[in-house]
């Protein structure tokens, strides 16, 4: 006897409320039976037939399909299990809706450009009707006939007006050769991702000025700005003056609530502590005991690395000479992604087999090694691409982008079939681990990586297989 088809019932939430969904393999007899019962409706959002969710309709479904199908209700009655969530009973208050991100129609990149007679900023974007329409209606831009693109004059007031017009709909990115030092423009760029209700508070522009005077990098300023912005907008009922008067108990309470939300890592909360300490103690010059701010204990996360054979497979899967050279330099010399982007042609010393790294993390200069394999790739790359100043230049000149390098690596990982063990920084981790496994002294590895403390470098001793592979598991004695 032929088995009946099965209709599985399940609970779902939709625009129509709580519904019972019918899941089944395509079957003409079932479809005809459904068409004969108008109260079973097609739900386009769930892409399935649904009925009202109650015991009466479930019983009716069992009756009308009894002769042609089996109605399975085990998943329908498993609703309690599916919707269980962790709840803490107590006085912990959770901040909700803080810095809500807005959906964007697309992204654009501002690229500085010059020709013989003028300078302007080109608005670069992938073909998109929505973006084209927004830029056409924008009062600050104009169409440049020669280069066939929307452009902006490099004027402070025009750029501010442009950002105020478009950032609610578009994500604005900067080309590496475009440096922004104007505080109001920076403020608009840092806040563009968030919905600005009547309660929204911006960070004081003077805080931006203070961080720039301290010579912090753009990324650090952006990160610290975010954490202070989050603090200000968590207390919607308080004025900026009241928040500026918070004591260490309030800051402790704030971070305790972040810990309670369970979605913030220890490293994230530590960054928040650093940013808020800078705001109160540095910018506001408050005489408060911020040392009392509780810092979460940061666990020791081991770096993820590839084996030498896996690195070889990744590199050999890349056909583009420039792409292969970039990743080879990062791995072969143990560089951070920001360091490879800043390399100049004169930083390559082929006679001494050295790379000079200028202004690395902590504003330190250092030398690291170049492998013979890397040098051969660099020579081939130079002949083909003929870079002018920076060793690796972007599409429009200037620095190559970090996102492009990440895409190169992830594409190579997928093509090579090597397991994904991290991003670009894992190449640097692999460099250090492989040196240690080959017998290189930890002190030399520390110098090549540019670590301040040997403690930072020692983490690779936990990753290395050099000693572990010599240890025999006691269970192997059972084989005797």
Q: Could you list the active site residues? A: 336, 361, 425, 428, 451, 460
Structure token digits, residue 453:
């403390």
Q: Lay out the sheet containing 348-349: strands in order across.
A: 348-349, 354-357, 366-369
Element (H, E) at 12: strand 6-14
* CA–CA dist 404, 392 (Å, integer): 12
C-alpha closest to that of 250 among 294, 282, 189, 285: 294
CB atoms under 10 Å from CB of 291, counted, come to 9
Spatial CB neighbours of 153, under 8 Å, sequence gap ≥ 6:
120, 121
Structure token digits, residue 146:
């020669």
Q: Is residue 450 within 8 Å of residue 360, measured between CB atoms?
A: yes
HSE, side-chain direction, 13 A CA sphere, residue 122: 17
Q: Could you say which DSSP state residue 19 is in?
A: E
* CA–CA dist 315, 325 (Å, integer): 9
Q: Is residue 394 within 8 Å of residue 342, measured between CB atoms?
A: no
Structure token digits, residue 418:
């090597």
């Amino acid at each position: 006897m032929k088995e009946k088809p099965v209709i599985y019932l399940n609970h779902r939430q939709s625009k129509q409320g709580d519904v019972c969904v019918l899941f089944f393999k395509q079957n003409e007899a079932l479809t005809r039976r459904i068409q004969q019962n108008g109260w079973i409706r097609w739900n386009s959002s769930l892409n399935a037939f649904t009925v009202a969710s109650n015991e009466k309709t479930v019983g009716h479904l069992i009756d009308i399909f009894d002769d042609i199908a089996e109605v399975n209700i085990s998943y329908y009655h498993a609703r309690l299990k599916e919707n269980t969530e962790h709840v803490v009973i107590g006085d912990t208050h959770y901040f909700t809706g803080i810095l809500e991100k807005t959906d964007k129609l697309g992204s654009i990149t501002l690229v500085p450009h010059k020709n013989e007679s003028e300078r302007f900023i080109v608005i670069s974007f992938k073909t998109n009707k929505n973006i084209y329409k927004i830029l056409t209606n924008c009062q600050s831009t104009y169409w440049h006939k020669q280069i066939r693109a929307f452009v902006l004059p490099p004027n402070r007031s025009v750029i501010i007006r442009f950002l105020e017009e478009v950032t609610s709909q578009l994500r604005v990115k900067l080309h590496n050769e475009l440096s922004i030092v104007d505080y109001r423009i920076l403020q608009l760029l840092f806040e563009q991702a968030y919905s600005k209700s009547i309660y929204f508070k911006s960070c004081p522009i003077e805080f931006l000025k203070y961080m720039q005077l301290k010579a912090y990098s753009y990324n650090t300023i952006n990160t610290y700005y975010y954490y202070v912005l989050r603090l200000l907008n968590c207390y919607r009922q308080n004025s900026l003056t009241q928040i500026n008067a918070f004591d260490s108990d309030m800051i402790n309470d704030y971070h305790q609530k972040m810990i309670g939300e369970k979605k913030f890592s220890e490293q994230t909360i530590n960054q928040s502590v650093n940013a808020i300490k800078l705001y109160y103690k540095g910018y506001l010059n408050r005489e408060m005991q911020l040392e009392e701010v509780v810092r979460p204990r940061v666990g020791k996360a081991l770096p993820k690395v590839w084996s030498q054979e896996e690195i070889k497979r990744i590199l050999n899967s890349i056909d583009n000479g420039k792409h292969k050279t970039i990743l080879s330099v990062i791995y072969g010399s143990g560089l951070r992604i920001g360091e490879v982007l800043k390399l100049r042609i004169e930083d390559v010393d082929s006679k001494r087999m050295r790379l000079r790294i200028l202004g690395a993390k902590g504003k330190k200069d250092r030398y690291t090694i170049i492998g013979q394999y890397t040098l051969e790739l660099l020579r081939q790359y130079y002949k083909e691409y003929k870079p002018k100043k920076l060793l690796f230049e972007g599409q429009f000149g200037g620095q190559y982008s970090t996102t492009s390098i990440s895409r190169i690596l992830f594409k190579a990982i997928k093509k090579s079939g090597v397991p994904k063990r991290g991003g670009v920084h894992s190449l640097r981790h692999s460099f250090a681990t492989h040196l240690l496994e080959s017998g290189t002294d930890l002190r030399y590895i520390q110098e090549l990586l540019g670590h301040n403390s040997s403690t930072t470098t020692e983490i690779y001793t936990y990753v290395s297989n050099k000693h572990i592979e010599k240890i025999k598991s006691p269970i192997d004695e059972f084989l005797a």
